[in-house]
Amino acid sequence: MAAQIPTVLTIAGSDSSGGAGIEADLKVITAHGCYGMTTITALTAQNTTGVRAIHCVPEEHVRKSLDAVFEDMPVDVVKTGMLGSAGTINIIAEAIEKYGVEKIVVDPVMVSTSGTELLPDDAIASLTKRLLPKTYLLTPNVPEALCLIQQPQREITSISDMLSVAEQLAAMGPRYVLLKGGHVPFKKDGTRVAGDRKGELMVDILYQSATKSYEVSKKPFIDSKHTHGTGCSIASAIASNLAKGYQPLEAFIDAGKYISWAIETAPGFGKGNGPLNHMH
């Protein structure tokens, strides 16, 4: 009898240093006991110190890759990361519709950990218009969230500020929004110093659009420079958990534990922001 293996298709860019993008996604998906498939949108030449070059995959090739996978393989969950261009986003949105994908986890990757732009400005409008309405679970960090709601300069100084951002994002289409607070750590008393990147607590919010209900998760802030690929890894862990049949809240809580462990046990590779330990 054939084994029942949950499947995840990741649509993302490649990171030659193996810490983020497609490479991280496949490791995380495998570590979660799922079968991973890929559609690569861009090739980056990079290491832990930065991105040296980006070569976008021609849009027609992205379309052919999506068709090849969907016409033959079972896809339980789709996860998207670095998408590269407005044209590629439109092709992905068409494929999601054509193949009736219900569970799509969108990590709205905009800037690399080392500061390079990974999504041109004109593509943000396509992401908002074409992909967010089809999104099952959106996983922005705070800077990405503020960009999507077109308030890039807004300061987050309280947990209720985070909640109101999550609500605004939910109104743009996704069924669930996981707003990740790694960029805005809070003090233990729930306050934060504006602009401060250090703190004691990391606050994430999982917001459900249909019920307008939410879960606030507070975890000790891990002060590490080895966080390259954290966003990719969280989204892939959640996508894998959803493929395994977990409910969104369970999928998020389990992924949070995995990521804390992966940062705490990071191998410390490279001279810059090194990768996580994906091997759990």
Task: Supply the minimum distance, in Å, between the C-beta of residue 197 and ligand PLP.
Answer: 15
| Residue 8 parent element (H or E) | strand 7-15
Tell me, yes or no, if 245 is annotated catalytic: no
Query: Quick check: is 49 catalytic?
Result: no
Taking the complex as a whole, the smallest distance from the CB of residue 118 to ligand PLP amounts, in Å, to 6
The three-point CA angle 28-250-222 to 5° equals: 60
The catalytic residue among 34, 56, 147, 232 is 232
CB 116 to ligand PLP: min, Å: 7
* CA separation for the pair 64, 240 (Å, rounded): 24
Out of 87, 147, 227, 274, the active site residue is 227
Would residue 21 show up in a list of annotated catalytic residues for this protein?
A: no
Nearer to ligand PLP, 28 or 208 (CB): 28
Residue 6 vs 182, nearer CB to ligand PLP = 182
Q: Given the residues 36, 231, 256, 274, select the one marked as catalytic.
A: 231
Give the tokens for residue 136.
Answer: 């099952």
Q: How far is the CB of 21 from ligand PLP (least distance, A)?
A: 3
Contacts of 196-204 with C-beta under 8 Å, sequence gap 24+, read 198/223, 203/159, 203/162, 204/178, 204/179, 204/180, 204/252, 204/256
Q: Respond yes or no: is residue 230 known to be catalytic.
A: yes
Between residues 43 and 208, which has the closer beta carbon with respect to ligand PLP?
43
Q: CB 222 → ligand PLP: shortest distance, Å?
A: 14
CB atoms within 10 A of CB 73: 11
Q: Cα separation of 238 and 254, whole Å?
A: 8
- In the annotation, is 232 catalytic? yes
State yes or no: is 38 an active-site residue: no
Residue nearest to ligand PLP (CB): 21
Query: Footprint of ligand PLP on this chain (CB under 6 A)?
Result: 12-13, 15, 20-21, 44, 46, 81-82, 109, 112-113, 118, 228-232
Cβ-count burial of 219 within 10 angstroms (0-12 exposed, 13-18 middle, 19+ buried)? middle
Q: Based on CB atoms, which residue is closest to ligand PLP, 208 or 263? A: 263
Contact (Cβ atoms closer than 8 angstroms) between residue 128 and residue 96 = no
Angle 21-31/230-243 helices, nearest 10 degrees? 40
What residues are labeled active site?
180, 227, 229-232
